[in-house]
Chains A and B, each alone.
Chain A
């Protein structure tokens, strides 16, 4: 178990540029989540995958954001035409559905990608 891996750890980009982040979940985990977190606040849910299917997208996720999870393994989160308000920590988490009753499954988080838009 190597844990959830996120790359890059830091990304600085200019407003208007596109960025893509990658998440490699724990290998046997079939659930994958993306959250966004600003300084001193709790993580805010962005989107959720069960295997390769994207089952929910938050209203926070504008049309400039897209997430994929091809083949139900790693996931990417792309932000197009970045804005300064996109600056945040983007966290990926995974869990295994069925290992415990759904509503007590813990999430295993990566260490995030910190995005700064200048």
Chain B
């Protein structure tokens, strides 16, 4: 069973639309990370959320950590083709092992 469940698995939208992807778990985490991965490259860290209820903004991306620290969401406003990629959430299951969700593949059509 996956420690982190991401939904939806695929998302295809038109440029300028908004989108939200979700990351859920039955476990409580001390922190959660979001990465973006483009084809042929490794994942790159976008943000780390630490406090329950925390909201972080990175330009048009808004990240929220659930109050109970079991879930998180990523919202993209006015998506652009450059936002296309695989969005991954990840959390440590112990002091060194970072586990990933299966990811959401986002395609933004021009």
Q: Which of B63-91 contact A (CB under 8 A)?
A: 86, 88, 90
Q: Is A4 an interface residue (CB 8 A)?
A: yes
Q: What is the number of contacts between chain A and chain B, taking CB atoms within 8 Å?
A: 65
Q: Is A25 an interface residue (CB 8 A)?
A: no
A66 to B88, CA, bound (A): 27
Number of interface residues of B (CB under 8 A): 28
Q: B11: which A residues are within 8 A, CB to CB?
A: none
User: Which residue of chain B lies nearest to A35 when distances are taken between CB atoms in the complex?
Assistant: B100
Check B42–A103 contact: CB distance below 8 A.
no
Q: Which of B30, B42, B92 has the most CB of A within 10 A?
A: B42
Q: Is A99 an interface residue (CB 8 A)?
A: no
| Interface footprint category on A | 20 to 34
User: Which residue of chain A lies nearest to B49 when distances are taken between CB atoms in the complex?
Assistant: A104
A61 to B96, CA, bound (A): 18
Check A40–B96 contact: CB distance below 8 A.
no
A84 to B39, CA, bound (A): 22
Query: Can you offer 5 A-B residue contacts whose CB atoms are under 8 A?
Result: A41-B102, A42-B90, A91-B42, A102-B95, A112-B41
Given A40-B103, A91-B42, 18 more pairs with CB closer than 8 A: A41-B103, A42-B88, A42-B90, A42-B101, A42-B103, A44-B100, A48-B96, A50-B96, A56-B97, A93-B42, A102-B96, A103-B29, A103-B92, A107-B45, A111-B41, A111-B42, A112-B40, A112-B42
The 6 tightest CB contacts between A and B, nearest first, are A109-B42, A42-B100, A102-B95, A106-B45, A103-B92, A104-B31
